Amino acid sequence: MGEAGQVSVLSLKGVGPQLRAKLERLGILTVVDLLFHLPLRYQDRTRLVPIGQLRPGVEALVHGHIEISGVRFGRRRSLVTVLCDDTGRLTVRQFHFNASQRRGLKRGAFIQCYGEVRSGPTGLEMVHPEYRLIEGPDAVEVETTLTPVYPTTEGIGQRRWHDLTGQALARCGEAVPELLGDWASFEFGDLPLSEALMQLHRPPPGIDLETLKAGTHPAQQRLAFEELLANHLAVRQRRERRDALSAQSIQASTEFWPRLRDALGFTLTDAQQRSIDEIVADLGKPTPSLRLLQGDVGCGKTVVAAAAVLAAIEGGQQAVVMAPTELLAEQHLRVFSGWFEKVGIKPVWLSGRISQRERRAVCAQLSSGAARVVVGTHAVFQDDVSYHNLGLVVVDEQHRFGVAQRLALREKGQREGSAPHQIIMSATPIPRSLTMVMYADMDLSVIDEMPPGRQPVETVVLPNTRREDVQARIREACARERRAYWVCPLIEDSDVLAVQAATSRAEALKSELPGLRIALLHGKIPSAQKDEIMDDFRQGRVDVLVATTVIEVGVDVPEASLMVIENAERLGLSQLHQLRGRVGRGDQKSVCVLMYQPPLGHNAKERLATMRQSTDGFEIAQKDLELRGPGELLGVRQSGAPQFRIADLARDRALLPAVQHGAVRLLRDYPKKAEPLIARWVREGLSFSNA
């Protein structure tokens, strides 16, 4: 650990191995981790609330004298105490109590209570509040700061948190020395970190609770800024490390690629050609390049990747094409096999599902160099796979890979001071401010143009009570030799339920749409059979493909012109956009029907309206960021990585320009501060672009 203050929690009073283990469950290992373990919310015991002002649902500190107290024998035995102050009367109800408690709560005594108010049978009450007997009205003890409520785990109570964070705060100065200053070009840059932490762990009375709740309080912004800055610095550092490695310099293809290009049957768009030029320039460098090839669904990224792969092969290097799902990898295999046939090259295939024998054979071909290009899932980077001379790695939709897989990829790629070139293809549009900060280690090529002749997809939003209208649309499309997708998304995060929903939907449609050929596709269907089903759909032997969201990424069937999505309100905008991108790939007018379960909440309404109004992936991504937060957008949620401790890219995106600016200043004027900042905030492997 880089910082002197990164001392173990074991150094705190009262922390032994057992408590340490519990803290570790929350990722808390050091005093610094404790300081960054911020309260979820706050309670206000700094002021007394007159009983007459209490409202159900609020937590409050009150005091009063006991008017009456006694045991009631209702459905459950309870000790009921009625207290009053000058303004009103409050019932305190306890279901668990002992004899001495009962004796203490006697008529005429004074108590102070803190608890949540609710409405009971005889007016407002508190159930099991914290209470304390006091001498009289003047003896009330109020706290001097708000009381923090910490996120916790089994076996650590709030009092313990208070004690632990109190000890950590006492050491704040040495644990987290100040690393920013007024140079940070950021509004709250000169609020010292220790003070910000103090304000958040022990807010003074009168602090603006609303901004705290929203995460926009200066103290929170101060921390978020530093965290984002540290992560940005880590990304830059990764780039520097990569620049220190060597790579095979690969020349532009003069034979293979021109031959394929002339046989494609379409002309590249300017944006595709520009991207190819940028990639070819990268490949020529003696250091490993890393380029993000970004472009909306259907813009034609695959052929750009093919140009790069052919350059590598022609230059005597091997190339890998990796996709996050079997379905998508299989599609790449089919497309690349078809294209590369024209230049006499046959890609080999590696997935987790092939037999051991096949696998050994493929591995042998890869390590001898006999196989020039392999297409597959993350199986292409498992331990037993070694390459003869790997020059290029192409990864499709890398954000869908888990963190562990991405790390494996990185390690596999880098050996003995050299690494292959990398291209990452993504249809997930990332707002520019975000790319600059969090993907700063990658170069960016954007395909911002669709192949000519595409018609924008019309989007219709319908409640699921209008199923018959939808069926009519399907009949009509299929009568024109078109095909339709019907997608049943994940329900309650359960694959099993999604499969069930898709299965029963397929059954229902079979009886509702007699004469149409309906097939079912989901992740539990064996790979070979899945292939067959996709092929039937592609060839027109199936009219309607009912599926779970497995078809979300990349599937390409130009004759499909109708996309029906059930429970669309459950999906994120970017995901809906991906699904919608499955149609509108031919020259036919296409329609996307978003069905929802009424009633719609405000946010859901706005999301579906966005889908209806826009077909621009960037605009949609921006809206998604606003409405949902970046987790979904960037696939972090899928990979399950806790990304930031405090920062939230959706909430804090206004900080990004200052982060970028601040990094430049820091590296120029205070370069020695970069390392400790990274060590303080960035946990290796959990940051976000670790390609």
Q: 566, 557 in Cβ contact below 8 A?
A: no
Tokens of 286: 């003696």
Q: How far is the CB of 331 from ligand ADP (least distance, A)?
A: 8
CB-based contacts of 334: which residues, under 8 Å, 6+ apart? none
Strands 77-84 and 59-73: antiparallel
Q: What is the identity of the amino acid at 159? A: R
Residues 654 and 213: their CA atoms lie apart, in Å, by: 18
Residues 266 and 253: their CA atoms lie apart, in Å, by: 19
Residues 537 and 483: their CA atoms lie apart, in Å, by: 8
303 binds, among Mg ion, ligand ADP, none (CB under 5 to 8 A by kind): ligand ADP
Of residues 412 through 431, those in contact with ligand ADP by CB under 6 A are 427
List 288, 451, 489, 617, residue binding ligand ADP (CB under 6 A): 451
Phi-psi region of 598 (alpha: psi -120 to 50; beta: other; left: phi over 0): beta
Of residues 542 through 581, those in contact with Mg ion by CB under 5 A are 554
Q: How far is the CB of 293 from ligand ADP (least distance, A)?
A: 9
List 168, 252, 260, 303, residue binding ligand ADP (CB under 6 A): 303
610 binds, among ligand ADP, Mg ion, none (CB under 5 to 8 A by kind): none
Indicate the residue among 554 and 572 with the shorter CB distance to Mg ion. 554
Stretch that binds ligand ADP, among 35-43, 172-180, 291-299, 588-596 (CB under 6 A): 291-299
Stretch that binds ligand ADP, among 290-298, 349-357, 639-647, 683-691 (CB under 6 A): 290-298
CA atoms within 13 A on the CB side of 493: 2
Q: 60, 54 in Cβ contact below 8 A?
A: yes
Indicate the residue among 334 and 612 with the shorter CB distance to ligand ADP. 334
Indicate the residue among 91 and 574 with the shorter CB distance to Mg ion. 574
Residues 62 and 137: their CA atoms lie apart, in Å, by: 10
Indicate the residue among 129 and 554 with the shorter CB distance to Mg ion. 554
Indicate the residue among 288 and 581 with the shorter CB distance to ligand ADP. 581
Of residues 521 through 580, those in contact with ligand ADP by CB under 6 A are 554, 556, 558
List 202, 301, 332, 412, residue binding ligand ADP (CB under 6 A): 301
Indicate the residue among 550 and 666 with the shorter CB distance to ligand ADP. 550
Length reported for the chain = 691
Residue 126 CA, distance from chain mean position? 39
575 binds, among ligand ADP, Mg ion, none (CB under 5 to 8 A by kind): none
Stretch that binds ligand ADP, among 97-105, 143-151, 207-215, 292-300 (CB under 6 A): 292-300
CA end-to-end span of the chain: 23
List 69, 147, 294, 302, residue binding ligand ADP (CB under 6 A): 302
* Contact code string over 254-283 relative to ligand ADP, x by CB under 6 A: ------------xxxx--x-----------
List 51, 299, 312, 562, residue binding ligand ADP (CB under 6 A): 299
499 binds, among Mg ion, ligand ADP, none (CB under 5 to 8 A by kind): none
Residues 216 and 188: their CA atoms lie apart, in Å, by: 11
Closest CA to 479 of 521, 513, 520: 513
Closest CA to 79 of 52, 48, 111, 50: 111
300 binds, among Mg ion, ligand ADP, none (CB under 5 to 8 A by kind): ligand ADP
Strand-pairing partners, residue 201, are none
Strand-pairing partners, residue 185, are none
Indicate the residue among 315 and 554 with the shorter CB distance to Mg ion. 554
Closest residue to ligand ADP, judged by C-beta, is: 300
List 300, 402, 523, 629, residue binding ligand ADP (CB under 6 A): 300
CA atoms within 13 A on the CB side of 226: 32
Strand-pairing partners, residue 84, are 65, 89
Residues 629 and 281: their CA atoms lie apart, in Å, by: 35
* Interface with Mg ion (CB under 5 A): 554
* Interface with ligand ADP (CB under 6 A): 266-269, 272, 295, 297-303, 427, 451, 554, 556, 558, 585
